[in-house]
Structure 1
């Protein structure tokens, strides 16, 4: 018989000592009931608990002991509060069980909040007060690892610390920012007009005027990037939005080409994007029918003027003509080999008299009936495949043909090109998306990833590491070649892969990631995961521009934010001696911009896509977030940051560094825009050397943003060195040891003396969870799943990325029926509570053994136990709230603590209590006969990780600086 959940020192079989230890762990970091706003929702605002620790060594360095993992294991600012409509608990999940003790009514207790009293900040002479890291994305779409610019020196004798050849800077964690280019803006931030034509852009370096630049009314303004004096723009107004806001968006008017009679020729220049549907015809019948219904439904979400195309593939690739209503034509290609572009043009009979537009690519409003009919009549091509073989799929050929159609669309014959140039200088807007729907791997022709014999397994991580992949290199190179061709026509490849097996998205990743495309992966096309994700895919980039439709089709120049962009080109302008190391995110180097303008601000230390300050990407949506990394080391040790222009008013008295992000793009309705974000950062004093405690005292470090940046750096390293998993983990360990050694307070040789300031205390636990996440896994995860999760980590905002690294865990029980953030630890597993885990790609509900027994006894259906039904309803509502907004739609499951699905939660938890444990927790669980809180794993717990970290930090080498003692030593 199950026990009652009592408000005592005992929790259903746990003795008083174990319960007290759990309470002490949970109280180390208590959350206040206040709610704050984050990037995309409301979150519990954390308050650091506990009194200040004793001063270390000289009495300086009040902070948090590193040994207290319970406090450091909670996500700061990431526990979300949700208010959603009530929904009744589904009683159908309950099963008949033996009679058990009923749940007791809760007793309400008042919550207690704790606050940390930090040391007083001592300002350096001649410097303004730096602002603390906001730990949130600001209105400009920016979030920094350091809120103060760390001017440092470059040590030319310092060697790289890993195979990745990334030298750790003096700050250990580099200065970086997460920037969301299409973050929505208010109406007051929009400006109609070309800034270059109005004298608002520097003709020397291309930077734009802004509110931070020095200007003399009516005379000149000084560019903060190159210090050039430029004449004040004509019709200058002090009320210009650029002089009042950090971020402004210029809407550049464009004239449509006109005919000889002066009328606008609408057919001469289409301004809407092109969509090509590439459909796998080898799907099972029920999945193919569900896919066709979803595609037909999405036609209502496309602009009527947009061009559409249809390609189906199976053993052959079929290209359908949509411009003829009397007789539908289909061009069938065998797809056994790679076709040259000219060869494809000849096969499709594309000539000057028979162009692509109007045949294979036609306006939706003109061919909707034909397209709908073709999709409805599409038949399954997998009826004759033997059971021991895979279907023949020519996926690579189908994608190659789609790319060729877009190339032919923008290739003008010589005679027409001269006529078009004389009529108008405005070319056709290049914008397109290829939507690939596939239910299995390519087995024929270019892009093949596996043979047709099912006895031949798909490649795994170990095969890639050992080089035992006969198809991988050719398929990867084929899609990498398509990547540049897609970029030239400003189109992206979006892949919807629904299969229980791998489909080959690992080989496609370059063509998808670097063009701004999207991966949506699941199990079946007739599952809710695909249907919901497919709808939110269109909601995310909004091709019909609903803001424009809400204005009744207002004239060009209307001030509103768009959710997506095409043909994006972006760059960075910086002050002197501020260098850009690179960008992490979906982009390529803008070769055309590099030929016309120098990239003097490019750092010799390249991270991600580096060596330039100009990048491009085919498509972008409102949530895509880039990581810009900066090299803050001065080129010489003379002067540093304070002396460089300290008396020059044009450099803002030498106490700030200037950075400007410029994004040029085309909206889905063909409008050209330029978004300019200009910011300045306070410069930390750097004479004679930078003081680490300066950043600690001013709380200038954003540990959540830093963890996301490092996770992206890890992914970038593993993409370049796929077989160097262990070396990358050692590089991460070295970084953490040096970081804690630099910013922590300790006495050499005494691990227990190590203390970290609260603004740093969560950073080790973030990296601990990163080491245990799927991004470092080789076993029990497929290469396709790894590519899928890396894809979203490299494009989503900080708040989403941190959930991928360290899931959020919430507890519900009779005493606290609302969501209560708890440590991601096995100590949070109790028989009398319900856990809700949000791991971004997975959302799971797990009932404790006692709760599950009550559910089986159907106490939730008894009016006497209404509070128990309300408890179950609260958990369901919070889970539904997460599912209602998450993109892509996550996997969702409900289970009990001993169910098979419980592994999804337990594998992400810190294994405090394992089958090897001989402590109080394991003994109590064994005595009670309940093993729900025992995690069967050989991995090291965070306690062992922290002990190894402290030992490595306080150990000093022969030279006294800890060199050579940077290994944590846990797996």
Structure 2
């Protein structure tokens, strides 16, 4: 049922049935929250060519839960009960309008106005090695071939200096060079480049540095083809001079001074840490190591630049190709508040992770689909008076509104204080978590006034048109006589686990990890005390309802995940993992928390397995998918068969289907997922087998021999001990 609603509306909620008072809601532990994918690709989604009919009092759009009088052309708002008149476009309608069809809880409107082309600024690190730079150049050439022809483009490079290319000079390659020692405001950059400061109404957008693709296609191709590595020599035992912060500041200032608040995005390609100018995160000398987990220093990355980008609705994408760190820990906020894409390729730009991921941006898996990106989305949440918006978590920037909307709660969860958020860029996978507060203190609301919430998402389509998507959803109130039963039966444990994970990662910005783990444990204990069936002080009577059966396992593996563990992960990796968790859909987040494990045995079909160390066998091939990496693990016997097959493939041809069985699953995952995961092939008892064993439940004693025969060591508590301790604490 939950997946069906998500497919139809891009919406999932932790609780479909809500307690009637705030006190009862607080005792449920998991907040009244939901996940919304505002640009989810929905089959048969209606697109209406007129402005949405809105309530004159509360701005709620006409939806299936409103009451209508078709004969008198009037409708009653289900939020404020204001009676409104149908617009003139509905004059000839003699039946229920499309917006009030119960099957269309999500609908889109094409808003009037002139199309505005999107802008793309390519920002390239020239301190890359020659093969890496060539891979980036090839990727940008691919992107240019797929861009809308009316799109505006700019090309900027950075290294020892920052170079802004003049794309309207066909005779020679001409650039403006900046030393990059300070930030440049849009006005200062406009003066230095001799361009008009800020766009004027009625005048075409663009100048010689950011101009329509149709006018600069030839020049831009030549610029990219002739691009060379940074010419300044790098002394021995030094890092190259890389002015990433200055490059970002100039790119954002160019967008702001040229197109203002029109749709735009900066695509940053970086291969190492910033070592000079604004946003410096590493010293030039290699003798001074870049910060590690235990030496982190709060250093906001180009703070003034990303605040400007958020206020103007521009987006920043970061593509990292580096064996070491690039400074993403400092850039995470920049990406998250602008809604940008992030790709981390630890094998450089020449590896398949970057190439396949970047290709997916311009060639979506859906046949004949538009670019999987929209620009400058503004999401507004309206709700019935009985509930209020507490906050949200995701890739966006809150929009402060004065005075506050009546639907805003005084209790903040995540980033609240408003009912409107701005996303510089969203894709079909971008998902935001919203949290709500029950406004009723003691008196339950009448059953005929069910809680209602509506999400209005206005965005710029790649075609340049402004579109509004409206998603409406109605919950139910729990019956006072059976409130606990009604609320418990409506529980979606998958969505709840994702909301808990996002809240934990959000809290990790302000609190140490041991406090986060303690909060997770307390929340789980209190939740089960509320909804589990048991007799006090009697562990044998403990029983979990079906709706909660997997939730403790989700929490167990979430506690052991890379989001709440820093060991063996650099600050950049941790920031990257947490950033994607804060952006992806429910199914993807669940895969990050609770990976999938599949097994193949000779002569048998693929079968799913439990995440347990006992699944390892000498005669098995295991495939572990944790969203970021696909690990293929060969048992000792399978590894020997593989060696023999390579030596004599003709005689052992019967082994080929078995040895190649995981390839089909790997190709399927690589074709569908963004960013593309890395693939690791390892053998049992090898050093790289730790990438599999570290994510499995250590169900055997430390140092004891596993069923596969090898000794296994782990400091972790196994799932059985975790559950035994949990049950003991709950019933006590």
Map 1:542-553; keep pairs closer than 5 Å.
none
Listed one character per residue, the Cα deviations across residues 290-347 of structure 1 (whole Å, up to 9, x for unaligned) are 2212212221011121111111111111111111213432111111233344333332
The partner residue of 1:810 within 583, 598, 609 is 598
Per the alignment, residue 292 of structure 2 pairs with: 460
Per the alignment, residue 363 of structure 2 pairs with: 539
Check if 1:487 corresponds to 2:293. Answer: no
Map 1:574-585; keep pairs closer than 5 Å.
574-585=383-394
- Quick one: structure 1 residues 134 and 379, their matched pair in 2 at CA, closer, same or farther if it must change by over 3 Å? closer
Listed one character per residue, the Cα deviations across residues 614-669 of structure 1 (whole Å, up to 9, x for unaligned) are 1111111111111111113x43212x13xx3x5xxxxxx23x22211111112111
Does the aligned pair in 2 maintain the 1:335–1:394 contact within 8 Å?
A: yes
Does the aligned pair in 1 maintain the 2:120–2:151 contact within 8 Å?
A: yes
Per the alignment, residue 226 of structure 1 pairs with: 80
How far, CA to CA, are the matches of 1:177 and 1:511 in structure 2? Answer: 25
Check if 1:621 corresponds to 2:427. Answer: yes
Map 1:670-681; keep pairs closer than 5 Å.
670-681=464-475
How far, CA to CA, are the matches of 1:939 and 1:913 in structure 2? Answer: 11
Per the alignment, residue 10 of structure 2 pairs with: 141
Map 1:146-185; keep pairs closer than 5 Å.
146-154=15-23, 169-185=26-42
- Quick one: structure 1 residues 503 and 315, their matched pair in 2 at CA, closer, same or farther if it must change by over 3 Å? same
How far, CA to CA, are the matches of 1:289 and 1:272 in structure 2? Answer: 29
Per the alignment, residue 704 of structure 1 pairs with: 494
How far, CA to CA, are the matches of 2:575 and 2:329 in structure 1? Answer: 6
| Other structure's SS at 1:728 match | helix
- Quick one: structure 1 residues 137 and 386, their matched pair in 2 at CA, closer, same or farther if it must change by over 3 Å? same
Q: CA deviation at 1:207?
A: 0.2
Q: CA deviation at 1:392?
A: 0.3
Per the alignment, residue 70 of structure 2 pairs with: 217
How far, CA to CA, are the matches of 2:198 and 2:557 in structure 1? Answer: 61
How far, CA to CA, are the matches of 1:614 and 1:580 in structure 2? Answer: 10
The partner residue of 2:681 within 883, 887, 894 is 894
Listed one character per residue, the Cα deviations across residues 179-203 of structure 1 (whole Å, up to 9, x for unaligned) are 11112234562211112xxxx2101
Q: CA deviation at 1:487?
A: 2.5
Name stretches of at least 5 consecutive residues in structure 1 with no aligned partner: 1-131, 156-167, 257-269, 412-428, 549-561, 647-652, 956-971
Listed one character per residue, the Cα deviations across residues 941-966 of structure 1 (whole Å, up to 9, x for unaligned) are 111111111111011xxxxxxxxxxx
Per the alignment, residue 603 of structure 1 pairs with: 409
Per the alignment, residue 341 of structure 2 pairs with: 518
Per the alignment, residue 637 of structure 1 pairs with: 442
Per the alignment, residue 662 of structure 1 pairs with: 456
- Quick one: structure 1 residues 901 and 710, their matched pair in 2 at CA, closer, same or farther if it must change by over 3 Å? same
- Quick one: structure 1 residues 449 and 540, their matched pair in 2 at CA, closer, same or farther if it must change by over 3 Å? farther
User: Quick check: 177-186 or 782-791, which moved more?
Assistant: 177-186
Listed one character per residue, the Cα deviations across residues 840-899 of structure 1 (whole Å, up to 9, x for unaligned) are 100011111111122222289666755532222222221222122221111101111122
How far, CA to CA, are the matches of 2:42 and 2:595 in structure 1? Answer: 30
| Other structure's SS at 1:449 match | coil
How far, CA to CA, are the matches of 1:387 and 1:139 in structure 2? Answer: 59
TM-score of the pair, normalised by structure 2: 0.94
Does the aligned pair in 1 maintain the 2:278–2:302 contact within 8 Å?
A: no
- Quick one: structure 1 residues 909 and 675, their matched pair in 2 at CA, closer, same or farther if it must change by over 3 Å? same
Q: How many aligned residue pairs are there? A: 721
How far, CA to CA, are the matches of 1:625 and 1:276 in structure 2? Answer: 25
TM-score of the pair, normalised by structure 1: 0.71
Does the aligned pair in 1 maintain the 2:252–2:305 contact within 8 Å?
A: yes
The partner residue of 1:761 within 528, 549, 555 is 549
Check if 1:381 corresponds to 2:230. Answer: yes
The partner residue of 1:302 within 108, 123, 147 is 147
Per the alignment, residue 508 of structure 1 pairs with: 331
Does the aligned pair in 1 maintain the 2:392–2:413 contact within 8 Å?
A: yes
Map 1:340-359; keep pairs closer than 5 Å.
340-351=185-196, 357-359=206-208
The partner residue of 1:912 within 696, 699, 719 is 699
Listed one character per residue, the Cα deviations across residues 915-969 of structure 1 (whole Å, up to 9, x for unaligned) are 344xxx55x66xxxx30xx4322111111111111111011xxxxxxxxxxxxxx
| Other structure's SS at 1:137 match | helix
| Other structure's SS at 1:776 match | coil
Does the aligned pair in 2 maintain the 1:251–1:672 contact within 8 Å?
A: yes
Per the alignment, residue 773 of structure 1 pairs with: 561
Q: CA deviation at 1:754?
A: 1.2
Does the aligned pair in 2 maintain the 1:859–1:868 contact within 8 Å?
A: no
- Quick one: structure 1 residues 756 and 354, their matched pair in 2 at CA, closer, same or farther if it must change by over 3 Å? closer
Per the alignment, residue 692 of structure 1 pairs with: 484
Listed one character per residue, the Cα deviations across residues 709-766 of structure 1 (whole Å, up to 9, x for unaligned) are 11111111112x1x52111110010000011111111121122321112221110010
How far, CA to CA, are the matches of 2:256 and 2:69 in structure 1? Answer: 50
Check if 1:843 corresponds to 2:630. Answer: yes
| Other structure's SS at 1:572 match | strand
How far, CA to CA, are the matches of 1:541 and 1:457 in structure 2? Answer: 41
Does the aligned pair in 2 maintain the 1:841–1:891 contact within 8 Å?
A: yes
Map 1:357-506; keep pairs closer than 5 Å.
357-381=206-230, 384-410=233-259, 430-464=262-296, 469=297, 472-473=298-299, 476=300, 478-506=301-329
- Quick one: structure 1 residues 748 and 454, their matched pair in 2 at CA, closer, same or farther if it must change by over 3 Å? same
Per the alignment, residue 178 of structure 2 pairs with: 333
- Quick one: structure 1 residues 354 and 253, their matched pair in 2 at CA, closer, same or farther if it must change by over 3 Å? closer
Listed one character per residue, the Cα deviations across residues 791-836 of structure 1 (whole Å, up to 9, x for unaligned) are 11111111111111111001110252x2211110101111111101
| Other structure's SS at 1:506 match | helix
Query: Which protein, 1 or 2, shows the higher relative CO under an 8 Å CA cutoff with sep ≥ 6?
Result: 1
Per the alignment, residue 823 of structure 1 pairs with: 610
Does the aligned pair in 2 maintain the 1:582–1:629 contact within 8 Å?
A: yes
Does the aligned pair in 2 maintain the 1:147–1:701 contact within 8 Å?
A: yes
- Quick one: structure 1 residues 372 and 188, their matched pair in 2 at CA, closer, same or farther if it must change by over 3 Å? closer
Q: CA deviation at 1:578?
A: 0.7
Per the alignment, residue 99 of structure 2 pairs with: 242
Map 1:261-280; keep pairs closer than 5 Å.
271-280=116-125
- Quick one: structure 1 residues 239 and 224, their matched pair in 2 at CA, closer, same or farther if it must change by over 3 Å? closer
- Quick one: structure 1 residues 862 and 505, their matched pair in 2 at CA, closer, same or farther if it must change by over 3 Å? closer
| Other structure's SS at 1:858 match | helix
Map 1:51-66; keep pairs closer than 5 Å.
none
- Quick one: structure 1 residues 299 and 185, their matched pair in 2 at CA, closer, same or farther if it must change by over 3 Å? same
Does the aligned pair in 2 maintain the 1:849–1:896 contact within 8 Å?
A: yes
- Quick one: structure 1 residues 365 and 175, their matched pair in 2 at CA, closer, same or farther if it must change by over 3 Å? same
How far, CA to CA, are the matches of 1:761 and 1:353 in structure 2? Answer: 57
Per the alignment, residue 530 of structure 1 pairs with: 354
| Other structure's SS at 2:563 match | helix
How far, CA to CA, are the matches of 1:352 and 1:446 in structure 2? Answer: 23
Does the aligned pair in 2 maintain the 1:394–1:446 contact within 8 Å?
A: yes
How far, CA to CA, are the matches of 2:613 and 2:4 in structure 1? Answer: 28
Q: CA deviation at 1:479?
A: 2.9
Map 1:709-724; keep pairs closer than 5 Å.
709-719=499-509, 721=510, 723-724=511-512
How far, CA to CA, are the matches of 1:784 and 1:353 in structure 2? Answer: 35
How far, CA to CA, are the matches of 2:351 and 2:217 in structure 1? Answer: 26
Check if 1:735 corresponds to 2:523. Answer: yes
Does the aligned pair in 2 maintain the 1:860–1:868 contact within 8 Å?
A: no
| Other structure's SS at 1:514 match | helix
Does the aligned pair in 2 maintain the 1:133–1:146 contact within 8 Å?
A: no
| Other structure's SS at 2:318 match | strand
| Other structure's SS at 2:117 match | coil
User: Quick check: 743-752 or 491-500, which moved more?
Assistant: 743-752
How far, CA to CA, are the matches of 1:714 and 1:153 in structure 2? Answer: 22
Q: CA deviation at 1:150?
A: 2.6
How far, CA to CA, are the matches of 1:273 and 1:579 in structure 2? Answer: 35
- Quick one: structure 1 residues 353 and 169, their matched pair in 2 at CA, closer, same or farther if it must change by over 3 Å? closer
